[in-house]
Structure 1
Amino acid sequence: MPQSVSQDIGAPIPNNTPHAVSVTLPTWEATVGYEEGQDWVVNKMHSGYPRFFIHSKIQELAALIELNYARDDEKTFIFPTYNVAKRCREFIKNKTKLTPCPVRIFQLSSPAPKNEDEASFRIEANIAVVFFPSSEFGLAKNYWQHAGEGISSRLAEYFLNEMRDKLTADIKDKRPGLKRNSGRSSRSSRSSRSSHSSTLNSNPTAEFSTFVEERFGRNLDVRFAKEAKKLLKQRLATSIEHNTSPDDVYLAPSGMAAIFAAHQMILNTTEGASEQKSVCFGFPYVDTLNILRKWGAGVHFYGFGDDESLDELEKRLEGGEKILSLFCEFPSNPLLKTPDLIRIHKLSAKYDFAIVVDDTVGNSSNLDILPYCDITVSSLTKIFSGDSNVMAGSYVLNKQSPRYKIFKEYLNENYEDLFWDQDAIFLERNSRDYESRSKEMNKNSLKVLKLFQDCPLIDRIYYPSVSESKKHFDALIKPGGGYGALMSIVFKEEADAVCFFNNANLSKGPSLGTNFTLVCPYAILAHFQELDEVANWGVDKNLVRLSIGLEPAAELLGVLQEALDLAKEQRDFADN
């Protein structure tokens, strides 16, 4: 285990993975440096979590398109369909301070297969490009991040492979002085966290990695994509149980896109939705709250997500206020609190609001959630995949919900498959052993929990089995289910947290649910600009979050114990 773990800033996690969804930030100081935009970190960041860091293939495609089609001072974001691009355009126009703010959409397609042989490797791929004034890049990036509907890196790579020569030839025709190997576009900037930064040069290392990945068993004939999606929906339906039909399982390009789709559906099917706020119950992953704040009438935020918060919500409802929906995580990330979903369900029946539950952390192999909500949403990027090399999400309708019929009618008319075929093939392969992996992670997590409980340096441990809300988790746990793979710890002293994190010989970066243990200083990484605010909700700035993997328990415990021992030695030295 330790030998395969990269500690190089900016290295993809896993190593040598062209479409990795995590990235190495190996020290506390590097994580802070990344958030502060310090060059010694940012200049080494060649990959990152896809909704925050624009993948190099997407950057390259955007640069080519801008050189071909952009007007003066225009930038672009690329989406999988025209309808998604329209939503981005609407968001920019609604939020901009520019008057006027010209935003236009341009569509491109790659060639369709000419015959059956080509159909094994060629797809007619469509993209929709949103052009907007460069000053509004931040707004467009907000849409990309919050809604999670941007093109995947595999789609960008495929489109480049099919269209690079044509796009480059078109540039040469339009701008004869431009050389093929022209280096970075003049529009490039320091970091793709703030702007596209791309090159027209091909990357031999990346191309070789892609060749190996596709040649040696990790990619299937693209004609099987439709079957892969069918299998994914069946696999999810079977895991959820309750006679869930695969037809009630909807795939999305990311977990956040699933949450966004659920919110959009509720907004578009509820009478008086424009006047009704939603409720975010419990401290959530950051973009769930952003979606509820920025689309619709706004949000009531009950950040503690506990029984007292539910009392407060009930008083609000008794007072006559009508709410649109309640979104919650089960359990929450990173504090692992579990809401009283059974009581929430009763309130929903009485006061007529929709319930959307994100079960990413607890997952359907452990929990029986669907009967107590209208929709479950999940990031399939996480434990369902495990391999940290594909983005995906799902949302599932509860057939027993009083809203089922209207939701189903809406989706029959409006659902678009935004999930790129190659991503579906990878996810289907990754998820075949989803439930058995989940059970093994449950077992490893309990052993890690015991290790931390015995450590005098640690002040608090957040895990469903030791939480005050354990009874709410236990009420919906499946026979044979466990408490999941996510755990957070807070040290008594900041220096001990930093020492432990810096010396833990494990993968360190964003995401969770990976087959390998993944660690991050969560508040620093997710809430650096609002540390005082999140502290009010119990998220300590020194919180260390661990997603426990499949390593042999003895090896994993040994690595963690070594890091704890070093922190203890440092503490003893400081005290003396």
Structure 2
Amino acid sequence: MTASEPRSFPLGTSLPPGDIHAVSASIPTWKNLVDYMAGDEVVVGQLQSYYPRFYQHACVQKLNEAVLNRVGAPEHIRCMVFPSKDAANRCRQYLHKSQGPTITVQEVSFSLNQKVSEANRIWACFSAILFSEQYSQCANEFWADMGDGISSRNAEFCLERFPFLSSVSSVPDLQSRATRHDCGMIPPEPWHHSDTDTKKTIKTVISKLVTPSQPRRETVSPEDVYLFPKGMCAIHSLASILVPGPTKSSGAIVFGWPYGSTPRCVRASGYQSFTFYSQGTSEELDQLEASLESGHSIASLFCEIPSNPLCATPDLSRIRALADQYHFTVVCDETIGTFINVDVLPYVDVVITSLTKTFSGACNVMGGSAVLNSKSKSYRFLKSKLTLLHEDLLFPLDAKILLQNCLDFPARVRKSNTNALAIANFLKSYDSILHINYPSMVPSHSLYEQYRRPEGGYGGLISLVFKSFDSAIRFYDTIDLCKGPSIGANFTLVLPYSQLAHACELDWAESHGIAKHIMRISVGLEDERALISKFDRALQEVKALEKL
């Protein structure tokens, strides 16, 4: 699919079509989405792909089944596969914390014992946890909110080598030997590049782009850029590292309404207290300051610039001043803003990015990054912790795809900026729309301007709220554009955000200002006039409905 051909696709079509590692799927009607979130087997069965943290990719499912078959697990036992022992252990701990320490969760690790290349030895190694089917929902929550699950390409790699793998476990019944021993038949690694060089190049690209715009600011070192298999892995890693030791009280703040998994991830990281300031306003900063003045201690504050899906900007300057005074660490997710548009490193201690989104653009690979601010008072602590604890779990083929995809990142951001601004301005003329959220049009627009780079724009994300629920449904059902999860793709994606991200908590989300029928639009690279024509036709359908 090219960016010049904006259109909708049948239910379940992978987005982009034909790519088995696509990270989105077409959900063309409102009912399709509601049915999917309710677990409708007919809808679920038609999906060729989906966002990888929200489901088990076909390659991952096959690897799960291979593990269960190898160890002879009973029918009621389920499996989840992780790229490292530490990741599997985190899932086991999550299940014990959520379901009780007495439930049975077993771990098993697979590896190649034959004489093989170093790449095969490293990347064909994985760990799995086995648990009763009744705990599947809890395990799925961990998979979704922490991002630790194995990637589809890594699972595919392990599947091809599975007959040659042996397993070890503290449970004797889970120990097994390889079923094939002709090591000469082990496939070579399917890449011809240096994984180290590829990842170093990605880090170098990010380090240059994230470097502050101010004159005489030294370039960020690639050594201060850390890569992760997913953006949520970066958030969870930083959140966990920042939990103080048991002798100190600890609290975490999520400031402003962020992407739905972020508060759940931070809350589950082990803090004694967690506070969610959902509006991200100056009044809430007043509340935070009063709490700090009264002696309440926090270790970390997480925020986004701008936020997803309301496009609001936090007062980073004031947050920085509070952090310096009360000694907490500020972690800012700039995925929506992008390195090209916003300049936030001088105000925060860590910049987090989901590389899955605009950095890749192709919607066919997952990745994340964390960049440390070397001028931060927390730098030495964070550097030592990450040096000790960070695992390189970004699969080499995923890294290769990321690097290929990101080479035109700046130009793509500029095109998306232009398209989105034109669409946001176009939407203002329609009375059917109650609110348009775009960084230049929301109450916090002056704050965004403080952190916008001199040549930066306002990004590719718009959200809007129709005056009526029925109008939102008509708009979604009729607009002839790609419809499904994720943002930052080279093609435009439309989604009724709350119906997916907050399907089980719609009333709660609406009480915090996220309407049940809010529509999120991730604007792509298609022809501007073609996109506006699509929006106009759908909005004319809305008008016709409202006249009935």
Q: Which amino acid aligns with 2:159?
A: L
Of the candidates 227, 231, 237, which is equivalent to residue 255 of structure 1? 231
> Within 5 A, what are the aligned runs for 1:62-77?
62-72=64-74, 73-77=76-80
C-alpha separation in 1, matches of 2:251 and 2:266: 8
Instruction: Tell me the distance in 2 between the aligned counterparts of 1:124 and 1:529.
Output: 37
Distance apart, 1:100 and its partner CA: 2.6
Q: Per the alignment, do residues 38 and 351 of structure 1 end up closer, same or farther by CA in structure 2, a change over 3 Å counting?
A: same
Size of the aligned set, in residue pairs, is 517
* Matching residue of 2:204: 234
Offset at 1:568? 1.3
1:564 alignment partner in structure 2:
539
Determine the structure 1 residue equivalent to 2:95.
92
Amino acid at match of 2:261: D
- Corresponding residue for residue 528 of structure 1: 503
Q: 1: distance between equivalents of 2:263 and 2:361?
A: 25
Q: What pairs with 1:155-234 in structure 2 (closer than 5 Å)?
A: 155-163=154-162, 221-234=191-204
Question: Cα–Cα, structure 1 residues 500 and 221, in superposed 2: closer, same or farther, change >3 Å?
Answer: same
Counterpart CA distance in 1 for 2:228 and 2:157 is 19
Post-superposition CA distance 1:262-296 (Å, at most 9, x none)? 101111xx355763221111111111110122222
Aligned counterparts of 1:113 and 1:514: Cα–Cα separation in 2 = 41
- Aligned partner of 1:479 in structure 2 is 454
Change (3 A) 1:288 1:70: farther
The correspondence of residues 369-380 of structure 1 with structure 2, limited to 5 A, is 369-380=344-355
Q: CA deviation at 1:421?
A: 0.7
What SS does the aligned partner of 1:258 have?
A: helix
Q: Is the 8 A contact 1:111 1:125 kept in 2?
A: no
Q: RMSD of the alignment, in Å?
A: 2.1
1:232 and 1:316 map into 2 onto residues whose CA distance is 40
Residue 132 (structure 2) aligns with: 133
Does the CA contact (< 8 Å) of 2:252 and 2:298 recur in 1? yes
Aligned equivalents of 1:518 and 1:124: distance in 2? Answer: 33
The answer to whether the 8 Å contact 1:77/1:130 transfers is yes
Secondary structure of 1:223's aligned partner: coil
For 2:450 and 2:114, how far apart are their aligned partners in 1?
51
The verdict on how the C-alpha distance between 1:274 and 1:103 changes in structure 2, with shifts beyond 3 A counting, is farther
- Preserved CA contact (<8 Å) 1:523 1:543: yes
CA distance in 2: counterparts of 1:437 and 1:112, whole angstroms: 45
> Does 2:319 align with 1:344?
yes
In the other structure, the counterpart of 1:292 is: 266
What SS is found at the alignment partner of 2:505? Answer: helix
Give the match's secondary structure for 1:465: coil
Q: CA deviation at 1:434?
A: 0.6
Report the counterpart of residue 13 of structure 2 in structure 1.
Answer: 11
Deviation at 1:500, TM superposition (A): 1.3
Show the 5 A alignment for 1:258-297.
258-267=234-243, 270-271=244-245, 275-296=249-270, 297=272
Amino acid in the other structure paired with 1:149: D
TM-score between both structures, scaled by the size of structure 1: 0.86
Q: What is aligned with 2:222?
A: 246
**Do 1:222 and 1:422's aligned partners in 2 also have CA atoms closer than 8 Å?**
no
Cα deviation for residue 166 of structure 1 reads 7.4
Is contact 1:113-1:124 (8 Å) kept?
Answer: no
Name the SS of the counterpart of 2:78 in structure 1.
strand
Question: What secondary structure, in the 3-state scheme, does the structure 2 residue paired with 1:313 have?
Answer: helix
Query: Structure 1: 5+ residue runs without aligned partners?
Result: 168-173, 175-218
Structure 2: give runs of 5+ residues left out of the alignment: 167-172, 174-188, 213-218
Describe how 1:442-461 pairs up with structure 2 within 5 A: 442-461=417-436
* Identity over aligned pairs, percent: 37
- The farther-off stretch of 553-562 and 42-51 is 42-51
* Partners of 2:103 and 2:285 in 1: CA distance: 43
Shift of 1:398: 0.6
Instruction: Write the distance in 2 (CA, Å) between the matches of 1:325 and 1:376.
Output: 13
| Mapped contact 2:112–2:125 kept (Cα < 8 A) | yes
Deviation per residue, 1:420-440 (Å, 9 max, x gap): 111000000000011111011
Q: Deviations over 1:109-165 (max 9, x none)?
A: 2477857xx97x997521011122332222222221111011000001111122258
Q: Distance in 1 between matches of 2:314 and 2:211?
A: 21
Give deviations 1:227-260, integer Å, cap 9, x for gaps.
Answer: 1111110000000014211000000011111100
Relative distance call for 1:300 and 1:458 in structure 2 (3 A) is same
